[in-house]
């Protein structure tokens, strides 16, 4: 059993392949890919998210991904390729490992949202409510 968050992330990184923004774009272009932003809502509201991504905060991921829970999100399908990302790659690594444990076979860690944005990846900006 891992004894620290660092060890948990190392184990997750060993189980879930890390991909580049270019590799993620290729996977998305092929279709049948679910992109999941596991950051907290204030982070997404501040920066936007990968275009077409589903936002599910890290704390709700297993509940949204498991079809046996009342919180299941139909966007989650174990036959799809799943790409997860967060602010730095730690939460997405842990998320990817959790998805694999739930039976998702094709799971990849994009890592940091800023790497996607800085590489020219398409971003959906937050809605300006004027407040």
Which residue numbers are catalytic?
86
CA 60, CA 122: separation in Å to the nearest integer?
A: 25
Question: Residues 111, 129: contact at Cβ < 8 Å?
Answer: no
Scored b (16 or more CB within 10 A) or e, 63-82 reads ebbbeeeeeebeebeeebbb
CB distance 92 to 86 below 8 Å: yes
CA separation (Å) from 59 to 41, 64, 98? 11, 10, 11
């Amino acid at each position: 059993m891992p004894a620290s968050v660092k060890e948990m992330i190392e184990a997750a990184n060993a189980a879930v392949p890390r991909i580049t923004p270019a590799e993620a774009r290729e996977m998305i272009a092929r279709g049948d890919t679910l992109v999941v932003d596991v950051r907290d809502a204030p982070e997404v509201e501040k920066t936007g998210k990968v275009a077409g991504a589903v936002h599910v905060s890290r704390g709700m991921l297993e509940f949204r991904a498991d079809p046996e829970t009342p919180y299941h999100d139909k966007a989650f399908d174990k036959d799809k390729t799943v790409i997860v990302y967060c602010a730095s790659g730690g939460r997405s690594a842990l998320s990817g490992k959790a998805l694999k444990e739930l039976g998702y076979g094709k799971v990849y860690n994009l890592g940091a949202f800023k790497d996607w944005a800085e590489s020219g990846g398409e971003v959906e900006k937050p809605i300006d409510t004027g407040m």
